[in-house]
Structure 1
Amino acid sequence: MARRVAVTLLRHGLTLENQQKKYIGFSDPLLCEEGRNELRELHEKAGFLPSEAILSSDRNRCVETAEILFPGQRIIASPALRELHFGEWENKTYAELCHDLHYRAWIDDPSGTCPPGGEHFHEFEKRLLTAWQEEIWPMAEQNGHVTVVTHGGPIRFYLSVFASEPKEMWEWHIPHGKGYALDWNENTGRFDGKCTLLQEAPSMVKPSG
């Protein structure tokens, strides 16, 4: 029988700052009540099964999401799974920043321009690849499956690297509270190969029985 290793990537629930369309990379807001209610409804409809292992960004919005979707389970929080640090642009909106030439240069070339006081995209990539190699993949191999609750940016990056479906990073649409499950077969020891199966997560079909 082929050995299966799986990683499920889920985005945190909605925050007030998300509704206000603010940049909240390293910022640490809680979920808004609407976000909590959406997650509770998702949990009820999706019939989440216990996860063998749960990793989360250490930001409140991710830990809260994991606690709602997987109540009573152990959650390991990691700062390596945070969103991109937007520096001086944290908690600001496009409307507030659109006249800033530095910001407009970053919009045009996010991999070539760094937010002032923030994180360069290459640092973001390095941080996430290190987290994959040292935290996510070892837990997936050890347990057969790991659920990772993180942010839109990290999920898009991981999909651009590991998804079997070829897309640019910014082409992936990741709704709050949802994400993708990536599966590998007979892949022991590999952390840099494309997955063999990609599915939207969570499944909205409840298990029978």
Structure 2
Amino acid sequence: MSRVFWVRHGPTHARSMVGWSDLPADLSDAARIARLSAHLPQEALVISSDLIRASATADAISANRTRLPHDSDLREIHFGDWELQAFDAIPDQDHLRAFWDQPGDIRPPGGESWNEITARVNRAIKRLLDAHPGSDIIAVAHFGAILTQVQQALGVTPFEAFAHKIDNLSVTELHWRNASWQALRINHLP
């Protein structure tokens, strides 16, 4: 059995769609970071997206854990032309609503679809499980990347996965056992 502890990066305080933009995380709440680190298994391997908000969060909670190289496949959804725009600033509101209400093959202009991010994150997790079978893994990533895995574990539609809240610095614990995922906790705040 492998356990994956998904941690969403620290907050950016942005009020827009932040995908591949490299915004820093606010990691100033040292007590909260310490609680998060203490909650996670000490012997776990730590990996993160290559975006600074995730990699800095991973560094902050590593605490003598083995740190694996960043993985760009753990990045957030690529919002393309919508990147760093507020929802109400997107000119084609019908396209925007369809992207969120019917996640699947619909993509932002110049960006990626839900199915594409799911395939990308699945590749990263398969590589991790193949390289480190039976290990505990702390994966510091993003809202969308984590929800792709919640969807897999729960066997729900993408739209149903979007109903789950994934707070900054929360832990979502998924177990890989007998070739299937089980969700033990979603959005746990230590």
Where does residue 199 of structure 1 map in the other structure?
A: 185
Aligned residue identity for 1:90: E
**Counterpart-to-counterpart distance in 1, 2:119 and 2:80:** 18
Q: Which structure 1 segments of 5+ residues have no match? A: 205-209
Q: Larger Cα Rg: Structure 1 or Structure 2?
A: 1
Where does residue 207 of structure 1 map in the other structure?
A: none
**Counterpart-to-counterpart distance in 1, 2:92 and 2:9:** 30
Where does residue 24 of structure 1 map in the other structure?
A: 18
**TM-score normalised according to structure 1 size:** 0.77
**TM-score normalised according to structure 2 size:** 0.84
**Counterpart-to-counterpart distance in 2, 1:157 and 1:147:** 16
Deviation (angstroms), 1:109: 2.3
RMSD across aligned C-alpha pairs, in angstroms?
2.4
Where does residue 97 of structure 1 map in the other structure?
A: 90
**Counterpart-to-counterpart distance in 2, 1:89 and 1:115:** 7
Give the total of aligned pairs: 185
Moved more, 110-119 or 55-64: 110-119
Deviation (angstroms), 1:183: 2.7
Deviation (angstroms), 1:42: 1.7
Structure 1 residue corresponding to 2:172, chosen from 147, 158, 180: 180
Q: Which structure 2 segments of 5+ residues have no match? A: none
Q: For 1:10-34, what per-residue CA distance to the aligned partner results, in whole angstroms no more than 9, with x for missing partners?
A: 10010032xx2x1111111111xxx
Q: 1:184 to 1:109 in 2, by over 3 A?
A: closer
Q: How high is the sequence identity, in percent, across the aligned residues?
A: 25
Q: Does 1:162 align with 2:159?
A: no
Q: How does 1:59-70 map to 2 (within 5 A)?
A: 59-70=51-62
Aligned residue identity for 1:23: M
Structure 2 residue corresponding to 1:171, chosen from 163, 166, 177: 163
